[in-house]
Amino acid sequence: MADRFTVLRTNAELRARIAELAAEISRDYENCVTEEHPLLLLCTLRGAVFFAADLARCLTVPAELNFIKVHTYVGKESKLKPEFELGKDIPVKGQRVLILEDIVDTGRTMDCVVRHYYESGADSVEICTMLDKTHARAKGYEKVVPKYAGFEIENEFVVGFGLDCDEKFRLLPDVCVYHSDSEQS
Ligand code: IMP
Ligand code: MG
């Protein structure tokens, strides 16, 4: 059988970039978060869990970590209306919120999440994503632009470093383009 995975970003590349992002975020929030009012990191389950764990531990500003889950995908198809499964009621009033996302694709999930936490009274809500499929935004979601992005990638389906395909391949250390059996000749 031909290779089913093509490595796009190695684990070492991902971790190096995560350290850079953490340094940038720490600089940006240095003067606006304190131990009393820490940066609230909201990690999207389950895809962003390794990204968030690595990034959160590199930050040098006071931060708290919590988890949200928004259902958007079944296999390779994006569900049109994202729905919160976890974290909708997290109190964010007056807080600086940073969403830690694995990948922004059509933009629907992050649009819904950012709107929700603004409506819940957050002072600011920004997106930090490991990967950004910048050319995959759905019509009407072009304005979903993460403030922090690890890597821009083409519109290809990727797995590994937390990203799955129907719950498989999450634990691969690298981010790989996944070629399913049906795509192979
Ligand atoms: P969006 O709402 O279309 O931007 O979808 C975002 C969510 O879809 C991400 O958080 C992922 O869970 C999932 N997703 C999008 N593209 C991929 C991919 O290439 N591999 C795995 N999951 C993906
Ligand atoms: Mg996700």
Q: Say if residue 183's pLDDT is above 90.
A: no
User: Which ligand minimizes its atom distance to the CA of 172?
Assistant: 1
Task: Yes or no: say if 131 and 157 are a contact pair by the CB < 8 Å rule.
Answer: no
Q: What is the pLDDT of residues 2-23, one digit of tens each?
A: 569 999 999 999 999 999 999 9
Residue 1's pLDDT band, with cuts at 50, 70 and 90, is low
pLDDT at 81: 81
- The ranges assigned to domains in the chain are 9-155
Spacing, Cα 185 to ligand 2 middle (Å): 30
Within 13 Å and on the Cβ side, how many CA atoms surround 27? 6
pLDDT at 172: 97
Probe residue for ligand 1, chosen from 103, 115, 141 as the CB with the greatest number of ligand atoms within 8 Å: 103
Which ligand 1 atom sits nearest the alpha carbon of residue 101?
10
Q: Which CATH class for the 9-155 domain?
A: alpha beta
Spacing, Cα 49 to ligand 1 middle (Å): 14
Nearest protein Cα to ligand 1, atom 12: 47
Q: What is the 3-state secondary structure (H, E, C) of the chain?
A: CCCCEEEEECHHHHHHHHHHHHHHHHHHHCCCCCCCCCEEEEEEECCCHHHHHHHHHHCCCCEEEEEEEEEEEECCEEEEEEEEEECCCCCCCCCEEEEEEEEECCCHHHHHHHHHHHHCCCCEEEEEEEEECHHHCCCCCCCCCCCEEEEECCCCCEEECCECECCECCCCCCEEEECCHHHCC
Q: What is the pLDDT of residues 35-45, one digit of tens each?
A: 999 999 999 99
Q: What is the mean pLDDT of the chain?
A: 93
Nearest protein Cα to ligand 1, atom 13: 73
pLDDT at 74: 55
Q: Is the CB of 162 under 6 A from ligand 1?
A: no
Q: What is the mean pLDDT of residues 88-97?
A: 98
What percent of the chain has pLDDT above 90? Answer: 88
**Does 123 qualify as catalytic in the annotation?**
no
Task: Yes or no: say if 29 and 41 are a contact pair by the CB < 8 Å rule.
Answer: no
Q: What is the pLDDT of residues 104-158, one digit of tens each?
A: 999 999 999 999 999 999 999 999 999 999 999 999 999 999 999 999 999 999 9
Separation in Å, CA 67 to CA 45, 51, 85, 178: 7, 13, 11, 27
Q: Say if residue 185's pLDDT is above 50.
A: no
Nearest protein Cα to ligand 1, atom 5: 105
Q: Is the CB of 134 under 6 A from ligand 1?
A: no
* Active-site hit among 105, 111, 132, 174: 105
